[in-house]
Amino acid sequence: METAPTVTRIERVDDIPLLLAQLAKMEVASRLDQHFPTHGNWQGLSLGEVAVVWLAYILSAGDHRLNSVQGWVAGLLMTLRVCLGAPGLRALDVSDDRLCIVLERLGRDDAAWDAYERAQNATLLRVYDLTARRVRIDSTTAKSYVGVTEDGLFQFGHSKEHRPDLPQLKINQSTLDPLGLPLSTTVVSGERADDPLYVPEIRKVQAILQQSGVLYVGDCKMAALATRAYLAASQDYYLCPLPGVQMPAATLHALLAPVWTGEQALTPVFRAPVTAADKPQHIANGFSDQVTLTSTEGLAWQEQRMVVHSLKHAAAQHQRLDQRLQQAEQDIAGLNQRGRGHKRLDEAQAHAAVDAILTQQAVGAILVVDYQVDTHTTRTRTYLRHPARDVTTLSVTVRTHRDPVAYEETVRGLGWRVFVSNDLVVDVGEAVLAYREEYLIERGFNRYRGKLLGLTPLYLCSTTRIKGLIRLLAIGLRVLCLVEFTVREALQAKAEKLDHLYAGNPKRATARPTTEMMLRTFTGISLIVVSLGGTDWHSMTPLNPVQSRIVGLLGFPEIIYQGLGMQSEDTAFKMGEP
């Protein structure tokens, strides 16, 4: 009698082969092993391979907790052994003790991490044929509930997450346009100011790229004179807006005076249409002039000042101005209410209340306030031992009206900002469009807090391990950026779109899919082992057309999935082989 087949093992493969293939293409494991060598008694997977397995878990499960990885690996042993080419892989190779060692090594040795980033980025620039023309630098914060120590990473400071009550650390990062690929990642204590962090980060990028003529884009905190002087001396370029300290309202008003008189013409700035059916969108107007700057060390260079009027920003500011005026008028009118629950104010109290309202709403230059003081005397009758007397009361009425001239001048000055650059060739339109792509680096910061990387909440207490985790997640961010960039470039080259990505709307297609959307499509792929007649038969869930297309767009052969069903537990293949 024939024995019925028995399912002996089921492994949820999902996107793991794809992620491991991507990490292998980036040479992450070999680069980590090169710069973070282990001692001779280390057995099993190397430190780099342990980090790669952990990254695959983080990017697939959206969880960086150490105690969850070993159980996850135990359920995917056959898949990982084949994909990694490590037939001797054990679940103990990724125990929480091993993961702690990985974090300790990554977080403790700053010099080794800098060397790793240089080598890793050199590999990526070569493999993906990337040209370094524009780099963005910015910082973000990560909060935690750990205690504050005198020399620890977590300190109280200006919170970009609007939680000043919690200690935080600061992540300073540089990324490469147009894909937002991290080039360098620096972790510093949370009370540090942003301004002094730019030059050290720029030096790291210069050591990685080994070239000059790169445009560095940042926010107003990059506009410190020392930072701009360093870039000018390094034969590199900068583009950033000037903060209010360096461009006060009076100076900006003087720059705009020729615009009001019609002596200064404005250049319109248009955003390119998304599709052929769209029209260019008028987004700003501006003009530029050149000035000579001199650093404290005596270095002189030419700088271009671009005075830009953003139409959308001006409209938003105009709307908020009208809202503040309306609110101030309502609050001041409320001071005139009489009756129970409303305090009667004297003239000094009325002036103080009005000044507080005007200051809060910042409309003191527009709203004109008139005060009318009325005196009313009444005579009271005799009551018991109180004789009749005259009682005088003061009644203060406050009225407001808007100064039309001041209002018009205020509205005329809304939406203006001054950008500076030592690249004298770039025009106003190029500068505006380049700065408006600042979302590229902000998107990376959002991914740190997103579902896949999930930096917060932090489940670690050691600041060294937290630093190591941030560096590990920075590698994961590179994976997300490169997968997205590769697929979008392939779709653009073929003038195609990718569909079946949006839940509930499979026909909706996009030429700019995100990595998160594409990874979700691989949910449900399984490796099934069936025992029949003493022989184990491996079967893989076949890839559907969308999954096959994504694998192909990334440049990987379908063997990275099909090979799991073709190989036995004792054999393996390399992820980079066709």
Q: Is 572 exposed, middle or buried (0-12, 13-18, 19+ CB in 10 A)?
A: middle
11 forms beta bridges with 527
User: What are the pLDDT digits (tens) for 374-402?
Assistant: 777 777 787 778 887 777 677 888 999 99
Determine the pLDDT at residue 39: 85
- Identify each DSSP E strand in 342-388 by its residue range: 367-380
The rounded radius of gyration (Å) of the Cα atoms in the chain is: 32
Determine the pLDDT at residue 567: 53
Rounded Cα distance, 357 and 367, in Å: 11
Containing 391, the helix (H) or strand (E) segment is: strand 389-402
| Amino acid residing at 571 | T
Containing 48, the helix (H) or strand (E) segment is: helix 47-61
Name the CA dihedral angle for 560, 564, 567, 568, rounded to a multiple of 10 degrees.
Answer: 150
Number of neighbouring beta carbons within 10 Å of residue 29: 22
Contact 4, 74 (CB under 8 A): no
532: which residues sit within 8 A by CB, 6+ positions away? 3, 5, 6
- pTM of the model as a whole: 0.87
Rounded Cα distance, 335 and 344, in Å: 9
Rounded Cα distance, 381 and 366, in Å: 48
Q: Which two tokens stand for residue 350?
A: 């009325």
Determine the pLDDT at residue 2: 56
| Alpha helices, DSSP H, located in 275-346 | 311-334
Selection from 143, 207, 127 nearest residue 174 by Cα: 207
Rounded Cα distance, 549 and 523, in Å: 15
20: which residues sit within 8 A by CB, 6+ positions away? 52, 56, 80, 83, 84, 560, 575
Selection from 519, 525, 521 nearest residue 541 by Cα: 525
Rounded Cα distance, 53 and 47, in Å: 10
Rounded Cα distance, 259 and 255, in Å: 8
Tell me if the bond preceding 243 is cis, omega within 30° of 0: no
| Amino acid residing at 304 | Q
Rounded Cα distance, 129 and 297, in Å: 38
Tell me if the bond preceding 178 is cis, omega within 30° of 0: yes
Contact 569, 9 (CB under 8 A): no
User: What are the pLDDT digits (tens) for 322-380?
Assistant: 999 999 999 999 888 877 777 778 888 888 999 999 999 999 999 999 988 877 777 77
| Alpha helices, DSSP H, located in 132-210 | 198-209
Contact 481, 444 (CB under 8 A): yes
Contact 460, 473 (CB under 8 A): no
- Cα-flanking dihedrals φ and ψ of residue 426, to 5°? -65, 135
Rounded Cα distance, 325 and 319, in Å: 10
Determine the pLDDT at residue 312: 94
Contact 46, 33 (CB under 8 A): yes
Rounded Cα distance, 93 and 66, in Å: 13
Determine the pLDDT at residue 454: 87
Q: Which two tokens stand for residue 263?
A: 């002596």
% helix, strand, coil for the chain, step of 5: 45, 20, 35
Rounded Cα distance, 25 and 60, in Å: 18
DSSP 158: -
Query: Which segments of the chain have a pLDDT < 70?
Result: 1-3, 274-276, 392, 566-578
